[in-house]
Structure 1
Amino acid sequence: MARKYFGTDGIRGLTNADKMTAEMAMKVGMAAGKHFLRGDHRHRVVIGKDTRLSGYMLESALVAGFTSVGMDVVLLGPMPTPAVAMLTASMRADMGVMLSASHNPFFDNGIKLFGPDGYKLSDADEAAIEEGIDGHVDLAPAADIGRARRVDDAKGRYIHFAKTTFPHDLTLDGLKIVVDCANGAAYQVAPAALWELGADVIAIGVTPNGRNINDQVGSTAPLTLRETVVASGAHIGIALDGDADRLIVVDETGQIVDGDQLMATIASGWARQGRLRGGGLVATVMSNLGLERHLAAQGLGLVRTAVGDRYVLEKMRASGYNVGGEQSGHIILSDYATTGDGLVAALQVLAEVVRAGAPASEVLRRFEPLPQLLKNVRFSGGQPLENATVKSVIASAEAELTGKGRLLIRKSGTEPLIRVMAEGEDEKQVETVVDRIVEAVKAAA
């Protein structure tokens, strides 16, 4: 059955419209809280958020919903998504919630839910919560209404955790690092963790005002980071997104290093140390064919999944892999975290740079990617991919790329977008194929 509210990464939408209203947040709190009221102990939910203006409103609504069904609430304030997942498990909470729309602009927001183990919810859990949102939820008796309290040392707990993932025999002494926190959830914790490990830190994207999250900063807008790295003579630049579960790196020359190259770097290093499990890594259908060839040359495999870090993690857990992620920079290192963690991934990349004693441009450029082009087409409704003309154009493109590349067309799970991606050895052919499909989709949208 198609999900009504949940997408590939929680519930997301335009604030005060669609699904992201205070009323909806309260209903989610009531339904999710009721679903996780299991056993006769005092129940607890951990709630974190990024720096969006709407976080105040939605946080308060969630508190009302959870407490109304008898669940106590622990408020963390602005914290990365992976920190919420980690603290949910370490505080023995029954569930965790992160308020964030990740890399989206400030006017969007989202609700991400975690179970007591710190992992994102199963399809069955989400289906049960959706049923509660649309149905009736019994409220707690007056004497059993939950309480809310704020934890002041949450940032320190996460910084300590992140530092423990960096090899104990290494330091960041002598490294000048620019870190771009996207004016988002990691604006305090990421610079602090790097500084405490010895780095000379230049922090940008650390002045959130509720409206500037991901605005010309962060992993999806790395121009300012590139300029700052080059101008300051830094050794490397690190860009996180609004909720800090995504990582993009810039080397000392200002060149962008995407998630494929970063996964290759980590996997190769871990394989050399005998730490890599599963004989390779897990990535999505979006990852470049160059990554697959690079791993194969080392005797390592690449398993592909549908787009979405939840599908990557499902495959990792099912098949025993400990490195996986997405080209966009969601990198999951299951030895340390239950979800993507941009800071922890960055520390593993930095460890490889320190060990190599070479410039980031040499250490992180692991393979030559094949030409790949992705374009998004926004649509207002309907099923443009079911249009006969669109189908015909796609079939023709697939035939043209047979044996030379590949084509991937999909609907976004979080936005009303059709994503058109082609990859192949002939860059001009890739551009032509994508443009032809994009025009057909636009005409049908």
Structure 2
Amino acid sequence: MGKYFGTDGVRGKANEDLTLDMALRIGQYLGWYYGKGKHAKILIGKDTRLSGDMFELALAAGAASTGAQVYLLGVCPTPAVSYLVGKERFDCGIMVSASHNPYYDNGIKIFDHRGQKMDEDVLLQIEDYMDQKSDLELATGDAIGEYIDWQDGLEIYMSWLKSIVPVDLSGMRIAVDLANGSATSTAVETLSSLGATVEAISNSPNGININLKCGSTHPEALVRMMKENDYDLGLAFDGDADRLIAVNSDGELINGDYILYICGKHLKEKNHLNRNMVVTTVMANLGLYKALDAAKIDYTQTDVGDKYVFEEMQKNDYYLGGEQSGHIIFYEHAVTGDGLLTALKLLETMKESGKTIQELSEGLFIYPQLLENVKVKDKKVVLDDEELKKVIESVNEDLNGDGRILVRPSGTEPLIRVMVEAKTDALCKEYVDRVVNYIQERGF
């Protein structure tokens, strides 16, 4: 990770950590970098947060000042930018969003010409320009660029989704929580056009209510809606619509682990789970692994982060992977997580199997999980401690295969994360406390 760009772009409080000057210079560098000998072609999308307009226009102005033709997609899901960059042969794409963060944060995520996250060496070059360590020549005369409102982009994206999952949803009643975010631009229209009856909540964005007590990180309202009414499935998106958490008709959450299990089994039954493999992160629930074993489906683990899931899938041509958070990648079709594509895949599975989401979830027991963060002075010293390793091993022996412990460092903070899965919440607490108390007593 660089000075500004983390694993998911630049992110921070608008006009504090993330400034207009930063956006302007990012746009300028991309326009210049891709514009050598031609007008660069750049796509920009945004979510619904208040600061989205100003960052969108700063990026567009910067790119145009170095000769780029900038296409403004407007409010859209992040995966729409990823798809359209590759499909319509843009040089790169930019998404203005802070995903599931509160409205006062914003972010800038950059995609290369394939719709994949930008190579790190290019991001480091952009950072040098942001810090004024390098200079570039602005366009003049008829070389100056322009920007274009591109109304057709979302229609192309939605048509593509319906072409790869042409499921007839007639007779299905679906409740959706749009997080007052990007999904407001596509979800209801797409699902309705496939024949479903759709009722939406959190679908009136005003710039400051994105993710506010709604969406995939706060699905409580959707859970109530599912319990009190007769719907086949509930769908909760996050702010930029690249994640999905579903809710069954009993009001129970269907997170990313359930989705990987349900879709993995369905793809295997159709002989379409390439190499019989599902990619997860180390934070996937032990219950998922036991259920995949029972279904005779192989799995592999990566570090936490969709970036690592995608790298593993790309390297080995695996078709299905994702995270507990609902960030699911169907690599046969897309190079990033897509909440609406995930929703369509779930609905397709229900339709083709003739089963409810509860019936499709059978065979997966989610172990209770407890995660506690411990602040430390030096993460490496803690993890290298031989006595700590013995404490962790004692927990493993007590779990005896009916649970697991994971002790790992935070990637961004001076924290050790202690996670235990066991048969009961009480056991989780007992084993987490054993490790946490040791770390604290040693004064780490």
Deviation at residue 278 of structure 1 after TM alignment: 2.5
Cα displacement string for residues 189-232 of structure 1 (whole angstroms, at most 9, x for unaligned residues): 10111111111101111100101101111000010011111222
Q: Please tell me whether residue 401 in structure 1 is matched to residue 395 in structure 2.
A: yes
Deviates more, 1:261-270 or 1:158-167: 158-167
Aligned-pair CA distance for 1:397: 4.9
Partner in structure 2 of residue 151 of structure 1: 150
Cα RMSD (Å) of the superposition?
A: 2.5
- C-alpha displacement at 1:286, in angstroms? 0.7
Query: Which residues in structure 2 correspond to 1:6-405 (within 5 Å)?
Result: 6-18=5-17, 20-37=18-35, 40-134=37-131, 135-143=133-141, 144-167=143-166, 170-375=167-372, 383=377, 385=379, 395=389, 397-403=391-397, 404=399, 405=404
Shift in alpha-carbon separation, 1:440–1:339, aligned structure 2, 3 A: farther
Question: Residue 435 and residue 80 in structure 1: after superposition, are their counterparts in 2 closer, same or farther (change >3 A)?
Answer: farther
Question: Does structure 2 conserve the Cα–Cα contact (< 8 Å) formed by 1:218 and 1:240?
Answer: yes
TM-score by length of 1: 0.91
Q: In structure 2, what is the equivalent of residue 411 of structure 1?
A: 410
> Which shifted more, 60-69 or 259-268?
60-69
Q: Which runs of 5+ in 2 are unaligned?
A: none
Instruction: Sort the Cα spacing of 1:126 and 1:401 in 2 relative to 1 into closer, same or farther, 3 A.
Output: farther
How many corresponding residue pairs? 436
**Structure 1 match to 2:420:** 422
Distance of aligned partners of 1:180 and 1:440 in 2 relative to their CA distance in 1, 3 Å threshold: farther
CA distance 1:435–1:78, change in 2 (3 Å): farther
Between the aligned partners of 2:436 and 2:199, the Cα distance in structure 1 is 40
Aligned AA (2:238): D
SS in 2 for 1:321: coil
On the 8 A contact 2:95/2:110 being kept in 1, the answer is: yes
TM-score, structure 2 as length reference: 0.91
Identity among equivalent pairs (%): 39
Which residue identity lines up with residue 212 of structure 1 in the other structure? N
Corresponding residue SS for 2:241 = coil
Q: Secondary structure at the match of 2:312?
A: helix
Relative contact order (alpha carbons < 8 A, sep ≥ 6): 1 or 2 greater? 1
Q: Which amino acid aligns with 2:93?
A: G
Q: C-alpha offsets along residues 241-265 of structure 1, whole Å, 9 cap, x if unaligned?
A: 0000001000000000110110111
SS of alignment partner, residue 184 of structure 2? coil
**Matched residue SS, 2:182:** coil
Aligned partner of 1:58: which letter? Answer: F
Alignment-mate amino acid for residue 25 of structure 2: K
Structure 1 segments unaligned to the other structure (5+ residues): none
User: 1:381-402, CA deviations, whole angstroms, 9 ceiling, x for partnerless residues?
Assistant: x956357699689646523322
